[in-house]
Structure 1
Amino acid sequence: MLKKLTAKVQQLNPVVEDSVNGFAKSFIIEPESQDLLLKKGSLYVVFDISGNTRFEVGLISNVVHDMLHDAYYQSDNISPIQSLEKAITEVRDRVTQLANESIIIERQEIDFNIVAGALWGNVMYVVQYGSSKSYLMRTGDIRPISTTSEGNFSAASGVVKDDDVIIFSTNEFAKDFPPDRLLTVAIPESQLAQNQACLLMKFIIDTNFTQNEIVDFGNEAIKIKKDTPKVITNAGKIFSKIKIPSFKHKKRVETVKPVTEIGLKLKVQGKLKFKIQYIIPVLALALGISIFATLQNRKAKSAINNQTGTTTQQAESEVVAMDETIKPEEQPDNTAFYELKLTDPQIQPTEIAVFSDSIVVVDDTTGKLYTSARATPKFTAGTQTYPGIRNLLNIKGQIGFTDNQGYKVLKTSDLSVAEDYKTTELGVTSAYADFVYTIKDGKVTRFAKESNKLTGSLWGQNQDMAEAKSFGISYSLFILKNDGNVVKYTSGEKNSFALSGENPKLNNPAQILADVDFDYVYVADSGNKRVVSFDKNGKIMKEYKADREDKWNDIKSIGVSPDEKTLYVLTGTRIYETAL
């Protein structure tokens, strides 16, 4: 009988500073839904990174975690090994790009190693990139997992059994803490070097998983070397206090009635049966009558329209991408998403931010904050006010902004305050990783969050920063100046950068919007009554305008959905929506 296993897990991570020249990390990645859990399993990861520079620990860790999650669980490949290899490749490329282009670290070569395992049913699939260690303990014997290598990648897969223990670690961890020592002594994380991390997994039968939900993934055994270290008897003590996550699964049964006859028959009062060939003439006659009636009705409507002087016009879309040719009948109906005066006749909206399921608008004169679902637009005002509210941000799905008291983060679910930092040092503000960046008095300052306060350090200073109107961060810093020009800084140095392409000149732009997850950077070009998108090199990709210039004659702010598929434009007191 096939079984699903779950794992008791112990993570050993070093205690490191926010910025170091190398570090290691272990973590577990779970999918958002039970459906994905059944289809793709859970991920167990250990990685280390080093180089002749300093790395932002929070930023690198978030990039590795989030990219592995997205690349693996969004992959259509049915092979866990291939899905993991593709995900790790994307992580490696992004981390390398981050090392060479980030505003935080200097241009350097890096050493990146990772081992990741996907527990899928009762099978563990292991992929390693670079140098890492992996071990299997079964019935007291500990043996390295033998992998098949191809280039920098190596892989293995096999059935895991009840009470098995698998260990992932960095090379430096394995040198000081070999498996036999690891499973017999307690290791405080404070004793770990910054390049030492480990993940221990003990597998047990998941009793909440029913036989009907099992998919057979095969019985390929894990290959092990012949040499056998000494038997370990105390391994179970390490896991005795670890809680086991459990999931309740519901059976999903679909019933499909098979078609047993090719000929179609109609049953009347349980007795008479008519074959399809007898019905066709009747249907044809009914169809002919229907068409004749429809034509007569259209003629009558046309006569009425001619008498009253009215004409029937085909609806036009509100917004079109100017570099695309769209036939009228193919244009979407992009009417105004919402008129905010329906919520508050006195509203003077100043900024907009877009989230996965909601939209937030603020009024800096009253300090009010308004929210609406994206699916069913209807804005309501929050109960609290924040005088001087500005710099509205999407902070990993939460609402970030500055006000007269400092910097706050609210939960989108109930608008309760999740973070509150009192300071008077903030100007034009954005956020990147777990840091808050602000431009004030010609200086860019990076603030780290420590307890309930922000601790700042100077990042850069020059005339461009003194003229900043808005800025966004996507590895590099994109600054929109008061004169309408955009400048770019990477690793603290100014890049050779200028907008190019068709109509690159901006006219009184209101806002620039950038995000590490976006392919493009967006500018609300108010004076030209448009929104433009450009790539990281400055090439304008698209221009968005309303079908009538008077509709977008007061662009104040823009927002882009997290999936970068929808643009929202705040103009006057209206919000317009269009596909990107």
Structure 2
Amino acid sequence: MQGKFTVKVQKIGGVKPGDSHSFSVPLVVEPEDEVSIRRGLLYSTVEVISSTSFDPNLVVKVITDTLQNEYFNNPEGTPLQCLEKCVTSIRDRVFTLLSDPKVINVGVIEFNTVISVLWGSVLYVVQYGDGCSYLVREGKIKPINTSSEGNFSVASGVVKDGDIVILGSKGFCEKYSPETLIGASPSVVSGSDAAAVFLKFYAVKTDAASPLDIRDPLYEKIKVRRGNGTEAKRKILAVFAVVLAVLLFISVAYAFRRNRAQVKSESIASVVESGRNALEEADKLLGTDDEKARNILKEGKKALEEAQKKFSSKEIDGLISEANVKLEQVDKIRKIEDRVFYDLKIDDKEGNPSEISVSGSGSAFVVDKDKSKFYRLSFLSSPQVSVVESTQAATPKYLSSVESGVAFVGADAFYAYDSGSNKISKTGGSLPASFGEIKAFGSYLGNLYVVHGGKILKNGTSWVEDQALSDTVSMAIDGSIYVLTKGGSVLKYTSGEKENFNVRGLEGGFKEPVTVYTTADLSNLYVLDRGGKRVAVFGKDGSLKAQYVLSGDSQAWDDLKSLSVSVDEKTILVLSSSKIYKIEL
């Protein structure tokens, strides 16, 4: 069984002494005590670029100290979680150091790193920013298949005897292609802007000691006194018999223990081999048959978890972590940092915003229906918020982007806000008191559409009748009308006719969908799922493109209310409670 590996390491290129505007460095960080050695060794390349000069050696010390404190002294979490946390801490401390006027003048700072650790036979890799990682197996080289989460890319996989892994800095990746590396010696790599770590893995096979190794020293301690007489011989034989019995017992007990350990070792080896085969089979299906890949991964993970309860193996635990990463790839999950772009309670402690809608380039409107108040938000860089005049209508809701600003439904009529004149006025007539509840509203090419009961009305006239519409929670228009229902269906109507349309690829469906969003300018359909604490993105053919979730504690998205997307489809704005989150696409 190839359960343990030794690693031959070669560090290439890297930092030169003296102040510099940029540097890259290969690092191998070992634990400072025997207790922490079980957490493995850290292999990394780090690159820092600044518009002003700095001391690279000072930065390297900050990096190595942080790795010692944050990784080796933190036993909680999976290897990937620990590495991501370390990289975030390093990035923040390097930025703080290089932004300190006592060190250098504040300038543009770029931070890139690739870092890995070996647990048993599983290698974990985390990349932040630019860089590269390659696997050389059986003479063939290929990039390591990673899953992206914002600025992070992560991967995990089982290494084999003879594998070579290359971790490269941004400069290294730009200078040396995979084809160049496969036939070159690492010694050809040079330059302070090109750093790399080459890792070659060798399987270690250990054999248990023989019971004879235990018996031999005992025999040496047996001393028989020669003498005459039957009694003396009888005593000698008795002692000899006792010793033989003890030796026989030790031998049988040791053989039993050795056999039990061997059975356990062989069982773990069988589980690991089966798990590895399942992961490799699923990996081949990623992107071509995601449903089949998901089923293989779920079945394989279940078998591994059952085996882990019995054997408690680090290798099995590593395969479970790898299965989780690949399941996230299948489900197209993208994790984003829990970073609030703006909190409207800064402007009004009692505020309770209910909806958000992008209008024009780089601005959006947020409405507080309880206070009949609009906020205008600039989101291109740092947030800037201004209060628009009162709506003059109670409980404004169902914002819909229009060319001049935003349209919405008031208590007694339809209204529009003109961002040019900064005025709100009625549009499309009044609503009779007997009209009843409007379930959704949208505007397109000057026409006003509402979902009312089991109908879609266009400018007050019945346009579509469908009992499924009575379950509506939101609608969006791009020429066709998309209606999101409470049960999680997305209905599509074109020219007054219902199409055969459904969204697909979302494991388990929606939990509590609240908003569907698209426009004629956008290529995708966006659904906000409060129960699933996520934003799901679909192509307009209904296929799943991505899911955005918060990394770590997702309680910040417990109260998802609304979302909107910029005209260039590069930014999603998400409203949760009073906070606005900005997702860069």
TM-score bucket of the superposed structures, by smaller chain: 0.3 to 0.5
| TM-score, scaled to structure 1 | 0.44
Would you tell me which structure has more helix in proportion to its own residues?
2
Over alpha carbons, which structure has the higher Rg? 2
TM-score, L = length of structure 2: 0.44
